[in-house]
Each structure stands twice: as structure tokens, then as C-alpha cells.
Amino acid sequence: MKRVLIVLLTVFLVACQSTSTPAPPTLAPATVNPETDAPPTESATMLPPSETSTVPPTPTNVATFPNPDAYTWETVVSGLERPVDLQHAGDGSGRLLIIEKPGRIRVFQDGQLLETPFMDIVERVGSSGNEQGLLGMAFHPNYAENGFFFVNYTDLNGDTVIARYQCTTDPNAADPDSEVVLLNVSQPFRNHNGGVLAFGPDGYLYAGLGDGGSAGDPQGNAQSLDTLLGKILRLDVDSGDPYAIPPDNPFGDEIWAYGLRNPWRFSFDRANGDLFIGDVGQGSREEIDYVAAGTPGGMNFGWDYFEGTQPFEGTPPQDAQLVPPVAEYSHGEGCSVTGGYVYRGSMPEWNGIYLYGDYCSTTVWGLIRSDGGWQNQVLFGAPGSITSFGQDEAGEVYLITDGGQVLRLTPV
């Protein structure tokens, strides 16, 4: 009997892997401008972005931006229904898995968008609010062996659900009945749900949750350690039932970082593990936050004492150590930041450039770490409202629009 079970399990796991082969205006600097940016209050310490790292040095990155006129965003998929995320399974298949906000995950493989979704959970996803729906997805680092992936969605009550699913014997079909709920988080309002999921280089699952919504964080969630709202969470999904708290989480619970308004998108640099966070602003500033690989948790990114580097409301405690953004822009340049990815694909002239954009202005910026500081530059205008970016197994970067397009950065 044991031999039969082993054979069946082997057949199932092999089926989870696809058999196809992979397809071969200038932003203000991150430092505060004394003429236009009010300095932080003296009652709190604004820490420099962390430089601590326990991983190997970053591969050689470019020091200057390439000429953006020599590149374009080429459409690879269109006709999607409100796409908001794009991921790869890390299984060598070369597939792209694309989330449609109403509750479907679509498969793009061998140049074709498959008609049948990878998974359809529309009936359990509440997507009537503009910031509600099926919002994020992450594949387990050992997906090729265990078939596990994780999603973040709002349910029919508008509350956040983070759940695990598993693929079937068909590599392009997940089992919607395999759901194992990790977390249910009550949402007091219909906006600021966050939604991003990503596995870090440490193998833990990171999740971004907004401050609960409305405006101005009326419940004070972002600065409170008594709620999961306004936080980045860190979960050990390989231990416990359904997860365990990593032993080095700073507060002994799920919270890894706090002081965030709506971390809609964040990503880890696949080359060195650095974390880049796009935190959507209130009415004045949009920001990119940065955490060097190996930095211990416990960072406070300052909301709602600060919006970007601008004081917002209240006075931080005397001993507060707030981490400022490495890049920010005003609402004269956009209204809702969409965090992106560090480019690690086939074009060496883009190596190490973090690409991100704005939903409203459709502007795409590039950000480079250079000589201990940061260079920021406007690079492109997108053909529609930017809901997300994505990265494939080869490190190429994609841009997703609310109008249903997926585009890839490519030479003209």
C-alpha cells in the first residue's frame, strides 16, 4: 500500500509542472529638499535607509539610465478583465499567471492566453469596491514539488483573506476546493486593502495590508501594534497549522514592519534580496521605501505621522525611529504609486534599475542605487492606468494596465 501511495504522489507532483520549455519631469531626489520639504519634527529620529546586509554583494548594476527612447513597452496580452498582478510559478515552464480582479487567474503560455482559467473563485471574491477583489498571488518556492500557491483577496463581506491553494494533476488547473485559509482580517472600510504577497529570500511569506481605509487612518491602525492593518506581515507557511510565527519576527506575532498606509505592491530584488515597497499616499505624496537584505524586522515607515517626508498629523514619541522613503513625488506628478521590480533580465543596460509607476499619471520611473544615494528619473509613459508590474522567470519586467493589457519592456 505504501508503494502505491508513493507512486500516486509522484504522478501528482510531476503533473503540477508544465512540460513546455521556457520562452527563451525628474523626480525629486530621495533626500529632503530644504526649500520645499518640511523637515521631520525633532521629537523623532528619521533613520537613513538600512544598509545592513548578510547576503552576497549585489551583481554589477548600471550607474546611469539607458536612453528610454530606444525601448518600448510591447503588448504581449490584451483583453483581460481588470488585471492586477502577474507572477511566474518558478517551475521552468515559462508560463505567466495573471490575476483578474473579479477572481480569476489566467495562464499565458507559449504566446497564447489560455481560454480556461488556472483558477476561478469569482463566487467567493468581493470585488465591488475599486480596491477590492482578488489582489495578489505568490507561488511557493517549492511549487514544482508541492503545487502550493497563495492568494490574497477580499471576501463577500469585504474582509481580507490570505489562503493557500494547490494545483491538480493538470498543470494549468488549480483546485478551488483545496483552499486552506491562513488569515482572515476584518476590514473597517472598502479601501486600503493592500493585497501583495511575496516570498522573501528567507523562504517566508510576506503580505502587505493597508491601514483599513477611509482617509487619514481614522482608527490609528498603522502605528498600532495591536492590529495587522497598516503592516507587512511575515509568515512561516512550512510550519504550524496553517502557519507559524518566524522566531525572529520583532514583536512575537505576524507583524514584521509597520507605519504603512497602503502597500499595494512590493517586491524583492531576485539578485540580492533587497525589498522595495510602493506605499500609496494620502493627498500629497507618493513614496518608495527600501529595506536592504538581511535587515531585522521592526521598521516603522512613519505613516500617519508623515506622508512621505511631509509631516501629516500627530507627534511621534521621543524614541520613535522612523524610516523615510528613498524616493517620493508630489500629487502634481501622479496620485497612486504602483511598486514594481528591479530589472534582472537579458538587457544588461537595465541591470539593477528598479522600475515603478503611477496609476493615475501612467508615468514610469527608474530608480538606481548609486554612491550611497539614489538616482531617480522619469523614463516612460504607459498606455493606460498602471495597476501592477510583473517579472518572469528570466528576470524580464512587465507592466499591467487597468484596461486589460500586459506589456513587456523591450528594445524598439
The pTM assigned to this predicted structure is 0.88
**pLDDT computed for residue 57 by the predictor:** 52
**C-alpha distances in Å from residue 296, one per residue of 52, 53, 151, 202:** 9, 10, 25, 12
Find the mean pLDDT for residues 147-156: 98
- pLDDT greater at residue 12 or residue 228: 228
**Lowest mean per-residue pLDDT among 39-43, 165-169, 218-222:** 39-43
| pLDDT value, residue 47 | 63
**What structural domains does the chain harbor?**
78-335 (2.120.10.30)
Model pLDDT for residues 301-313, shown as the tens digit of each residue = 999 999 999 999 9
What is the pLDDT of the chain when averaged over all its residues? 89
Cα–Cα distance, 354 to 358 (Å, whole number):
14
Whether the CB-CB separation of 239 and 212 falls below 8 Å is answered with no
Split at pLDDT 50, 70, 90, the class of 54 is very low
Cα–Cα dist 142/320, whole Å: 39
Question: Quick check: bond before 39 cis, omega within 30?
Answer: no
Beta bridge partners of 278: 265, 288
Q: Cell digits for 8?
A: 500516486
Three-class secondary structure of residue 321 per DSSP: strand
Q: Would the pLDDT of 16 be above 90? A: no
Contact of 206 with 200, CB cutoff 8 Å: yes
- Block residue for cell numbers 505613516: 303
Q: 104-109 and 134-139 as β-strands: parallel, antiparallel, unpaired?
A: unpaired
Q: What is the pLDDT of residues 233-289, one digit of tens each?
A: 999 999 999 999 999 999 999 999 999 999 999 999 999 999 999 999 999 999 999
Confidence of residue 370 (pLDDT cuts 50, 70, 90): confident
Q: Give the pLDDT score at 48.
A: 57
Whether the Cβ atoms of residue 228 and residue 210 lie closer than 8 Å to each other: no
Mean pLDDT calculated for residue range 26-30: 35
Residue 111's contacts (CB-CB under 8 Å, 6 or more residues apart) are 23, 76
What are the grid coordinates assigned to 22, written together? 521556457
* Omega before 304 within 30 of 0, i.e. cis: yes
For the cut 70, the answer to whether the pLDDT of residue 339 exceeds it is yes
Mean pLDDT of 356-372: 95
Mind listing the pLDDT tens digit for each residue in 1-10?
444 334 334 4
198 within 8 A of 237, measured Cβ to Cβ? no
